[in-house]
Amino acid sequence: MTAEYSTRLRLDEPTRQRLEDLVSAGHYRSGNAAIVDAINRLWEALRDEDLDAAYAAAVEDNPHYPYESEVERATARRRRNARQKAAAE
């Protein structure tokens, strides 16, 4: 069972109207559902930004990331190609 949390929101008039329009157009079953979806979408976007930044930092430290070196990368590629070739035969 999930714990529920409730809060009150104060919306300015244009935002309230947008929320009403979304619900009345059938995009969401309720204003609450629209707000929850907006929060979840923003959270996912922020998480994606964090992951992209972490990946960029890893690549900056090691251009061969996720491999330790070009040799390791080439070896893994050869092994993968050999597996794919064997599977195709």
User: In this predicted model, what pLDDT tens digit does every residue of 47-76 receive, in sequence order?
Assistant: 999 999 999 999 999 988 888 999 999 999
Domain boundaries, the chain: 27-88
In the chain, which residue ranges form alpha helices assigned H by DSSP?
Answer: 13-24, 31-61, 70-88
Find out whether 68 and 62 touch, Cβ atoms under 8 Å. Answer: yes
User: CB neighbours (10 Å) of residue 53?
Assistant: 10
pTM across the whole model: 0.66
